[in-house]
């Protein structure tokens, strides 16, 4: 039985270390403070009895739990990231433990009137009677993805202490900078040495995902011409007005707030401007590769049309692919998804198989030769003050890891 108190203590020891990543940094990891937790994890992996524990110059951590069976079993891996999102501060996290949640409003911060309410976050009602860990309303929590790390470490510790549970070789990997899209960039798949792996980076209990968005970032620059407004007739070009035309020419309902499921979108996430120059930063997302390419073409054609309209190149556009739908890499080896689904069912967890409306290290890793579906870690409301995680979900995720390891060994028993 996984100890509830042990899980809570381990998780809190992780989230109280600030590991926020920085998209404007060119180093790996992008922030020095990520090393604090990285070095702690290395020592912890050694302490619980893992072998081949290593950390490289970019803070990528790997470790091995050797097989305890005499026959050949595929090597599997479990991966999570230790950075937290720069969308909201992760400094001075003060977790609150809510025992036996009663299904009502949770006061996160009385002084600032910050309330976590099931009236708005209906998923809370799934966890009545359970133990929740929340923020104090002033930071994110960091369950994304320190819950995943906690579950992997706890599962390895559990298997080490119980050699009667038979398993093949298991690899674990912890990465920096996933939240800024670089978590897999310097991951050494060959060194990791697994036949396939699972990222423990999903949300609600039961989530099992092997599809994600195709993704691109887009930088649009609009050049204007500043002239004294009193003498601006036929001379001034206001880049902000052209930017408004660009924005309004894209489909208004194909944005994150109006889409769900397999629907893609254009998302304007940053704008800076004055008369002389305005920059727009978009992300493009779609599960279907054809639709994805079409969305990129829409933005290029719009740029060309506006440039033609103004009879000069006032707009430049730069589109960079970020990652692709891992479904193409996972479907040929769907047995790895089936094993995770079977593990959940044996543990009386209802599998929720759905596409990720986002990305994951597993996407890039799948294209690097390591097929890597995503499994729930248990947290909700990531990247903000309303983030929370049920402890019981973390325990179940830990059990899923152990069960997958057991099933892989059983399926290859001779």
Q: Where are the beta strands (DSSP E) in 158-264?
A: 170-175, 196-202, 207-209, 214-223
- The whole-angstrom separation of Cα 154 and Cα 150 is 6
3-class SS of residue 281: strand
Q: How far is 49 from 29, CA to CA, in rounded Å?
A: 26
Catalytic residue among 22, 145, 157, 178: 178
Q: How far is CA 227 from CA 25, 232, 236, 314, 387, in A?
A: 36, 6, 5, 16, 48
Nearest alpha-carbon partner for 88 in 394, 386, 390, 391? 386
Q: How far apart are CA 411 and CA 342, in angstroms?
A: 12
Q: Which of 145, 97, 76 is nearest to 340 (CA)?
A: 76
On whether the CB atoms of residues 379 and 391 are closer than 8 A, the answer is no
Query: How far from 298 is each of 94, 311, 319, CA to CA, in Å?
Result: 45, 20, 12
* Helix residue ranges per DSSP H, 269-360: 289-309, 327-330, 335-346
Catalytic residue flag (residue 178): yes
Which of 18, 20, 22, 83 does the annotation list as catalytic?
A: 83
Catalytic residue positions, numbered: 83, 178
């Amino acid at each position: 039985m996984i100890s509830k108190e042990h899980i809570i203590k381990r998780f809190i020891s992780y989230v109280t270390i600030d590991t926020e990543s920085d998209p404007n940094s060119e180093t790996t990891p992008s922030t020095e403070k990520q090393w604090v937790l990285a070095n702690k994890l290395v020592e912890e992996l050694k302490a619980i009895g893992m072998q081949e524990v290593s950390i490289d110059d970019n803070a990528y951590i790997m470790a091995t739990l050797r097989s305890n069976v005499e026959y050949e079993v595929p090597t599997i891996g479990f991966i999570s990231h230790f950075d937290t999102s720069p969308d909201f501060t992760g400094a001075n996290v003060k977790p609150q433990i809510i025992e036996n949640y009663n299904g009502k409003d949770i006061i996160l911060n009385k002084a600032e009137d910050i309330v976590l309410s099931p009236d708005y976050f209906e998923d809370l009602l799934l966890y009545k009677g359970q133990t929740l860990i929340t923020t104090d309303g002033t930071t994110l929590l960091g369950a994304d993805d320190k819950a995943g790390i906690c579950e992997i470490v706890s599962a390895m510790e559990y298997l080490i202490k119980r050699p009667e549970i038979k398993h093949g070789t298991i690899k674990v990997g912890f990465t920096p900078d996933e939240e800024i899209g670089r978590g897999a960039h310097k991951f050494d798949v060959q060194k990791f040495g697994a036949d396939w792996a699972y990222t423990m980076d999903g949300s609600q209990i039961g989530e099992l995902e092997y599809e994600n968005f195709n993704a691109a970032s887009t930088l649009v620059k609009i050049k204007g011409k500043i002239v004294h407004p009193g003498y601006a007739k036929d001379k001034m070009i206001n880049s902000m007005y052209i930017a408004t035309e660009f924005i309004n020419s894209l489909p208004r309902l194909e944005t994150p707030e109006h889409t769900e499921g397999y629907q893609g979108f254009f998302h304007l996430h940053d704008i800076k401007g004055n008369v002389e120059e305005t920059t727009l930063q978009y992300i493009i997302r779609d599960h279907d590769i054809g639709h994805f390419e079409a969305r990129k073409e829409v933005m290029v054609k719009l740029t060309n049309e506006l440039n033609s309209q103004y009879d000069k190149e006032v707009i430049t556009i730069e589109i960079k692919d970020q990652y692709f739908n891992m479904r193409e890499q996972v479907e040929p080896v769907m047995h790895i998804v089936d094993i995770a689904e079977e593990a959940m069912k044996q543990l009386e967890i209802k599998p929720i198989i759905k596409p990720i409306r986002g990305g994951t290290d597993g996407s890039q890793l799948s294209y690097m030769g390591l097929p890597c579906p995503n499994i729930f870690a248990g947290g909700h409301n990531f990247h903000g003050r309303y983030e929370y995680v049920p402890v019981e979900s973390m325990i179940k995720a830990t059990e899923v890891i152990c069960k997958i390891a057991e099933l892989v060994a059983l399926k290859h028993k001779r």
